[in-house]
Structure formats: C-alpha cells, structure tokens
Amino acid sequence: MGLDELQKQLYGQKEEEVKREGAPEQFQPGHGADSQTPGSLQWGKEVMAGKPPLFNEGAKKLLKFLVIAFVIGGVIIAGFLFWRSQSFDKAGILVTVFGIERVISGEEVNYVVRYQNNTNVTLTDIKLTFFYPKDSIPVSKEDLTQIGDLQASVVSLPNLEEGKEGKIEFSANITGLKDDKKTATARLSYHAGSTFSAFESAGEFTSVIFSVPLVLDFSMPDKVVNGQQVTITLKYLNTANVGFENLILSVEYPPGFNFNSALPSPSEGSNIWELAEIGPREEGKIIIVGVLTGAQEEVKTFKANIAKQQGDIRKVVSEGLSSTLISLSPLSITMTLDNSRENSVNVGDKLIYRFVYQNTVSVPIGPIIVTVKLDTKALDFAFVKPNKGFFNSADNTVIWNESTLAGLKMVQPGQKGELFFNAEVKQNLPIYNFNDRNFIISVSAKIDSAIVPVQLQGTQISGFDTLSTKVNSKLYLSSKGYYTDTAQPNTGPIPPAVGQQTTYTIYWDVVNLANDVDDIVVEGYLPPYISWLGRYSPSDADIKYDQNSGKLTWKIGKLSASVGILSPVKRLIFKISLLPSIIQVGEMVNLLIDCTITGRDTFTGATLSGSAKAIRSDLPDDPAIGGYNAGKVVQ
C-alpha cells in the first residue's frame, strides 16, 4: 500500500474504521508477538485517530503553488540577469573626431579620434578606419590604403570593455582652395558581446580653408615717365610644405600699358600663364616689359591673381597688386582728339589731333623734335594736314622740328606749346575679308632732343603719349517700294485711283559695316490711308504693326560685322495697300514715312542710328512704273 493511501485511511475525516476478523496468519518481520495482540493494535488505532493531520488539503495546494512560483521566479530572474549581461544598444558607442575648424591650405592638422563604450557588453574585433579629407596628404604612410577616391588609415584595436574608452591620432596636410570645406571621417566596426552581427559607428569633423599660402609680389619703379618702357617683375611664392597643381596666373594691366614681351612667354594672350605646379616652398617669377603712358600724377595699378580652374569657373586663390605713378619727364607731351581722350569716331568724321608739349625742368632744352606715328587702316591719309609740320606718307608720320616751327629751336623752362593736325576717317572702310573688323586708330607721339643738358645727364628727357580710338560701325537702311514684283504680284490701278485699292511690295534692306551690332530695331509709319496686309517674308521675322499709330516695328536683334558686304543683306519684304481719297486727286502720296534704324555697337559701346527716305507712290525704284505722273492719284 502506498504512503498516500495509508494517510488517507489513517487521517481521513469521514473514513470508516478498519475492520479485521483476526490476527495475521503469518509473522510480519519487525513486529513482536505482543504487538500482534488484538488489544495493543486497538490502542494504537485510538492514539493515531486522536492526533491532528500534518497537512490538510488547502495547505498542500498552497505548498505546491509556492514551490512552482519559486521555480518560475528563479528562472525569470536568471533570464533577466543573463539578458542584461548580454543586451546591446548601438547608441551607446560614441565616435568623436576633433580637429581645427579654420586652416591654411597646406597646413598640417592633427585629428584626435575618441571612441567610447557606454554599453554593458565588451566590444571585440574592433577596427577603426580613418578617412582623410579629399586631396589631403597623410603624414604617416603606416596602415594607409586607398578607399574610393579617399586615402584612409585602417587600424585594428584591442577589445573595449563596458564603460571604457580610447583614442587615437592621425595627421595630414590639408590642401585646397579658399573657402573649401574639408571633412575627415572615422568609422568604428566591431562585434558586441556574444552577438554574431557586426556593427559600425561613425563620427566626422569639417574644417574650412580660410587662406592659401601663395604669395604674389610685384617689383616695379615707384615713378615712371609718361611713355617710358618699364620692366615689371612678378614673383610668386608657395610658403607651404605641400605643392599646388594646375594653376593659372593672370595679370590685369592698367589702361595705357602697351605689352611688349614677357619671360617666360604667356600661355594665352599677353597676360595669362599656366602653372603646372608650384612645389613646396617654391618661388618663381615672370618678367614683363612694356610701355606705360598716362597723365601727370596718374596712378597706374597692376593686378595679378592665381586661380584654379573648376569646370567653367576660375576660382581665385591668391591676389596681389602694385602701383606706379606717372611723373612728367623733362620734356612732356599730351595728346587729345577733339579735346577728349575717351571717344569713338564714325566713318567720314573729320578729326583734329592736338598736342601740348612742355619743358618741365629748370633748364632750357633744344632743339626739339616731335614725331607722331599714325597706325591705322581707318584714316584717309590724303586728308592728313599738319599745322606747321610735315606729313611723311612713306611711313605715315607727322614731324615738327625747328625747320618747320622756329619755336622748337629752344624750349625754355616751364614753356608750353601746342601742335595739331587734321585727319579724316575713311567713308568706306577697307573690308575685304572677315578679319577686317573692329578698326582702331592708334596714334603715338614722342618729344625728344638730341642734346641733353649737362644738368640732366643720365636722365631720360624724352616724353611719350599714345591714344587709341575705336571706329564705330555703321548701319545702313534702304527702303524701296515696287508695284512690279514677279515674286509677289500686286493688284489695282496704276496710277492709283480714288476708291480703288492698289497693293505695293516694300523692301527693307539692312547693311552693317565693321563691328557686331546688337539690339537692332527698324521702324516706319504707314499713313492713315495705307493698310497693313499682314503678309511678309521671312515668315519668322519679328514684326509688329500698331493700327492706332500706324507704326511698323521690325526687331532684328544682333547682326555680325560685314552683313550686306561680305554676306547677304538682312531683308524684310511686306505688303501694303493704298485706297486714295478724293482730296488726294492730282497728288503724289507717301506710302511709308519716317523709316529709321537703331542699334548698339558691341565693340565701341556707341548707340548707332540711321534713316531711309520715304517711299512715295511714284516708286522711283520700280523701273516698270512710268515715272512721276504714274504716281499721282486720279479720279
């Protein structure tokens, strides 16, 4: 019998008494003969029956619940402690990069990378990749590799326990242009605790280049004589420990400077040099020779810059400038054209060049010779007329000396004088090919003496002046009317008759001379008895008609030089009609009036204008019309 069943029989509250008919037939081990007596057995039952049970049913259930709860709680607590020891939050891994915010291009910058483990697990298999800023030069080549277009240092680090931190340093020379932003990035890859996944955390730092260590320095005289040939030295110096590549050096010359030569020769024009490289601490120089002219006490400033080509834009990284002062030479000469130094001229203009000369020192100088050189294709040399001078057509020079003007034998201290000559711009500029354009009249004057006073020995006594004048283009407008037009036949009576409509064809032709001209507009007016028929060629012409005012506007825009000379004329053809009134009988009537053309010369900046004659009903340009009487209105 099991223990549970025995307890139920012994302690059950409603259980019946055990009934036995007699003593056991066999001897039970462990029991004496006396204990098997019926009396003793009965006594034991009574005693057992009177004792309370050890656990009742409710206590047993509570005990079982407590045991189960204890086991489950232990498992939960153990699991929580295990999860807490193994949990990981990537946000607890901090990677911070420290550097210098504002740097000079070429400067060595030290970066400090700090990494922190603020989690509850240990980091293993740690690798730090530090990406240097673009175009920078790492100081150390150890652990250096190329990743994409950036150089990087890859470093393996020891395990990092929870709550611990570390740091590592990297150095590089930062190169670039002014205002460039340079970013360094650090990436930390690792495993966390017992996790199988790899994680990565990153940080970065950005510096701005505020200066480029390229120095430009001019060397030139503090003062120069007007018209003096000057030698200018431009030095460039790289003060950094790193080089710069693919740079462009440009020099801006002041007005009045005429370039002669340079060493080394310019890469483009007269003022641009391409510099393949300026090495660390390298110095170079450019020597420029030219003639400088200007008015007395006029400041002449030379500017230079070094730029980096970025696409279509040149970004300036360094600038330099220097100035010199125009001082009077012992003999000075100043030139004007029509009492001005800043103007442009038109074809056919009559010009007067004037020269004021002076002895600026305290000793007399003589004899004096003044030579003026004319360098142009735009002047008609047949009309060069010097006053008391001589024009040599063999070399196009005007000369004054004591043989032509007695006052030049000796010029006293402070004495001034004036010379002049007349000239004329050609009516028809020599345009034979497309290179014949943008005409300039260049005139240079020199005053000198073969005898230098003892007090001025070693001093340049001659004076110079130059003047360049641009020649404006010219717009020609031709306005013609036709009745006989095979391409676009007209209708109606000739001569025109009262109450009957007669149509006409109008031709506007435009010719442009020697420079490109923009914003060209042609205008004309149709009288009230003339109707605009809205038919014109070419069909894409920009033409507008205002019925209220009768104004006709043709916007051409831009025309190149030599249109109508080396290339076809610019033409507009349109139709109009005339309906005469009774009051016009016997009269010649206007078909189109007040025809004008305007435009802007892109070479000289001048506003150009022209006009064309009115078109009358006698149509002088139409050979098929019978003449004057054919244009009079009839009844």
Sheet containing strand 228-238, edge to edge, reads: 214-219, 228-238, 283-292, 257-263
pLDDT tens digit string along 127-144?
999 999 998 889 998 889
- Segment 207-232 shows an average pLDDT of 87
Which H or E run includes 615? Answer: strand 615-616
pLDDT of residue 107: 83
pLDDT band of residue 355 (cuts 50, 70, 90) is very high
pLDDT of residue 71: 67
pLDDT of residue 234: 96
Contacts of 511 (CB under 8 A, 6+ apart): 475, 476, 478, 563, 564, 565, 569, 570
pLDDT band of residue 14 (cuts 50, 70, 90) is very low
- Tokens 């950036």 -> residue: 150
Give dist(CA 490, CA 625) in Å, integer.
Answer: 13
3-state secondary structure of 608: strand
Weakest mean pLDDT among 229-243, 464-478, 548-562: 229-243
Weakest mean pLDDT among 379-383, 413-417, 482-486: 482-486
pLDDT of residue 76: 60
Contacts of 385 (CB under 8 A, 6+ apart): 391, 421, 422, 423
| Dihedral angle computed from the Cα positions of residues 28, 32, 34 and 38, in that order, rounded to the nearest 10 degrees | -20
Contacts of 420 (CB under 8 A, 6+ apart): 352, 353, 354, 355, 386, 387
Give dist(CA 222, CA 451) in Å, integer.
Answer: 27
Give dist(CA 140, CA 169) in Å, integer.
Answer: 11
- Segment 493-518 shows an average pLDDT of 97
pLDDT band of residue 196 (cuts 50, 70, 90) is confident
pLDDT band of residue 69 (cuts 50, 70, 90) is low
| Dihedral angle computed from the Cα positions of residues 399, 404, 409 and 410, in that order, rounded to the nearest 10 degrees | -70
3-state secondary structure of 252: strand
Cβ atoms of 142 and 148 closer than 8 Å: no
Weakest mean pLDDT among 243-247, 475-479, 548-552: 243-247
- The count of other CB atoms within 10 Å of the CB of residue 611 is 15
- Of the candidates 93, 109, 89, the residue with the CA atom closest to the CA atom of residue 101: 109
- For the four alpha carbons of 377, 382, 385 and 390, in that order, the dihedral sign comes to positive
pLDDT band of residue 51 (cuts 50, 70, 90) is low
- Segment 27-32 shows an average pLDDT of 42
Which H or E run includes 301? Answer: strand 299-310
pLDDT of residue 37: 43
- Of the candidates 516, 518, 525, the residue with the CA atom closest to the CA atom of residue 472: 516
User: 118 pLDDT exceeds 70?
Assistant: yes
User: 35 pLDDT exceeds 50?
Assistant: no
Q: Which two tokens stand for residue 1?
A: 């019998």
Give dist(CA 46, CA 543) in Å, integer.
Answer: 138
Give dist(CA 189, CA 129) in Å, integer.
Answer: 8
| Bond before 527 cis per omega within 30 degrees | no
- Of the candidates 168, 187, 190, 170, the residue with the CA atom closest to the CA atom of residue 95: 187
| Bond before 495 cis per omega within 30 degrees | yes
Weakest mean pLDDT among 8-17, 335-344, 345-354: 8-17
User: 7 pLDDT exceeds 60?
Assistant: no
Cβ atoms of 85 and 77 closer than 8 Å: no
Phi, psi of 599 (to 5 degrees): -170, 170
Give all domains of the chain, ordered by start, each with its CATH number: 90-210 (2.60.40.1530), 214-327 (2.60.40.10), 331-471 (2.60.40.1530), 475-631 (2.60.40.740)
pLDDT of residue 18: 40
- Segment 44-72 shows an average pLDDT of 63
User: 53 pLDDT exceeds 60?
Assistant: no
pLDDT band of residue 56 (cuts 50, 70, 90) is low
244 vs 344: which has the higher pLDDT? 344
327 vs 575: which has the higher pLDDT? 575
pLDDT tens digit string along 417-463?
999 999 999 999 999 999 999 999 999 999 999 999 998 887 789 98
